[in-house]
Amino acid sequence: MPNNFYTPQDVELLNVKISDGNKKTLDITDLCGEFNVYEELGQPILLGDIAIIDSAGLLSGFPITGQEILTCTLQKDDFIMNMNWRVIDINGMADAGHQTYAYTLDLVEGAYLNNITSLVSQAYEGNISDIIESIYTDYLKTELNYKDDSVGSYKCIIPNWSPYQAINWLMNRAKDKNNKPLVITNTLQNGTSILSFETIFSRQIMEEFTYHKQSEQDGKTYNYQDAAQTPLAFTNVNNGQVTSQLRNGAFGSTYISVDTANKTADTFEFDLEEYYEDMPKLQQNTIINAKNKLNDKQLNNFSKTIQDIKYQSGENFGRSHINYNGNTNSFLPFFNNMNHMLESFKYNLIINGRNDIEVGSLVNLRFPSNRPFNPEDPDSGIDRKRSGKYLVTKCRHKVDERDKYTLVIEVVSDGLGEDYNAN
């Protein structure tokens, strides 16, 4: 699909076929209802599902046991996307009457089968991004679309773990040159990537959405730009509540690394204010109200809200390599901070379908202000604190039975577009 504006009814689901992997293949296009593809930040695999309205006795002639292959085509004009899925389950069986059954087929991308049929039992040496790329190539039989390099040379032994288990363990230890975490994405359009937050946060804005934007259509001409920028639905999930961030140590925390061999302990107290300026971020201002203090201290000064103790045993692999249970003091505080700060503001939007917005995309949200409108300032009617840059962390591509294509996206942000105490 071209990267421009789209009408709501713009995608056809075609050529849906189910196969037993041998010789038996059935065309079930006419039985299909809603089709969904799910993306999530940090999730290395694509998931999907498809609703079936079965009036043809599909299950009696073709029993579905969770080992079938489903292929389908999405088409808009001259653009065609062919997809291959594995059926892993059948859910929600219901009698719809007149010898008709309704149920849902749960789908995963093809690499999932390689994941559950192989175990990684191997020693690795090098940076984590390269190790993960090797696992994808050797065990999942697929390729990374893109990777940012992690830093540090690691030696590790993967002890009979599934590939995705090994990848998740490694990703929890991967950091970029600025000592910030890396994240894995898998999208319908661009496949699997390992990205730094610096890379993600520097991307161009894909679209600007206005909360409760009023369409200026004249009733005769369809306004594509208005349709693209106006959410069909908007739900508030989290609107800047700091209690969970405080409880989880996003503002301040203490990390202790205990070396049991050398009988030493290193303590690192994380204070967000000290490091905030140099951290990659979406918004430029924290949600901390500097004037609101507890026991004469700002919220970021409470380093005892969370304590994390990690144990290591000396230099297991020598001085030239990083102990994968060590490194606590320099990395985990930032990993924890970014995970929880990105929960500061969270909204769910339903928008008209388009394939250029995916997990890892950036969008702008504009919220109205209750301040009087100033004709000399076009943005005077905008809430400058909540408005700004947001990250797409979940994406549901939805094609319903009428071929209406919509996106259900979760967007998050880590702070305010304007200082908390600004007028």
- Asked whether residue 6 carries a pLDDT value surpassing 70, the answer given is no
How many residues are listed for the chain in this entry? 423
- Asked whether residue 248 carries a pLDDT value surpassing 70, the answer given is yes
Q: How confident is the model at residue 255 (pLDDT cuts 50, 70, 90)?
A: confident
- Asked whether residue 303 carries a pLDDT value surpassing 70, the answer given is no
Mean pLDDT (whole number) for 220-248? 74
Per-residue pLDDT, 296: 65
Per-residue pLDDT, 103: 93
pLDDT digits (tens, 9 = 90+) for 81-129: 899 999 999 988 888 877 888 999 999 998 898 999 999 999 999 999 9
Q: How confident is the model at residue 218 (pLDDT cuts 50, 70, 90)?
A: very low
* SS3 track for 221-284: CCCHHHHHHCCCEEEEEEECCCHHHHHCCCCEEEEEEEECCCCEEEEEEEEHHHHHHHCCCCCC
Q: How confident is the model at residue 143 (pLDDT cuts 50, 70, 90)?
A: very high
Per-residue pLDDT, 106: 96
Per-residue pLDDT, 92: 85
Q: DSSP labels for 160-210?
A: EE-HHHHHHHHHTT-B-TTS-BEEEEEETTTEEEEEEHHHHHTSPEEEEEE
- Asked whether residue 71 carries a pLDDT value surpassing 90, the answer given is yes
The H-or-E segment that residue 114 falls in is: helix 111-116
Mean pLDDT (whole number) for 146-154? 91
Q: How confident is the model at residue 32 (pLDDT cuts 50, 70, 90)?
A: very high
Give 412's strand partners.
346, 391
Per-residue pLDDT, 5: 41
Out of 3.90.660.10, 2.40.50.140, 3.40.50.170, 2.40.10.10, the CATH code matching 12-110 is: 2.40.10.10
- Asked whether residue 269 carries a pLDDT value surpassing 90, the answer given is no
Q: How confident is the model at residue 23 (pLDDT cuts 50, 70, 90)?
A: confident
User: Higher-confidence residue: 98 or 409?
Assistant: 409
Mean pLDDT (whole number) for 16-30? 90
Lowest mean pLDDT: which of 64-78, 146-160, 181-195, 228-242? 228-242
Average pLDDT, the chain: 82
- Asked whether residue 38 carries a pLDDT value surpassing 90, the answer given is yes
358, 366, 412: which is closest to 46 by C-alpha? Answer: 358
- Asked whether residue 328 carries a pLDDT value surpassing 80, the answer given is no
- Asked whether residue 185 carries a pLDDT value surpassing 80, the answer given is yes
Per-residue pLDDT, 313: 56
Per-residue pLDDT, 180: 83
Lowest mean pLDDT: which of 155-164, 204-213, 306-315? 306-315
Count CB atoms within 10 A of the CB of residue 207.
Answer: 17
- Asked whether residue 233 carries a pLDDT value surpassing 80, the answer given is yes
pTM: 0.86
Rg (CA), the chain: 25
Domain-wise residue ranges, the chain? 12-110, 115-180, 198-239+348-413, 243-341
List the structure tokens of 218: 């004249």
Per-residue pLDDT, 42: 93
Q: How confident is the model at residue 275 (pLDDT cuts 50, 70, 90)?
A: confident
Per-residue pLDDT, 312: 60
Q: How confident is the model at residue 289 (pLDDT cuts 50, 70, 90)?
A: low
- Asked whether residue 344 carries a pLDDT value surpassing 60, the answer given is yes
List the structure tokens of 166: 């090994």
User: Higher-confidence residue: 351 or 371?
Assistant: 351
State how far the alpha carbon of 3 is from the alpha carbons of 145, 198, 227, 245, 354, in Å.
20, 24, 14, 37, 8
Per-residue pLDDT, 1: 38
The number of C-alpha atoms within 13 Å of 204 and in the hemisphere containing its C-beta is 3
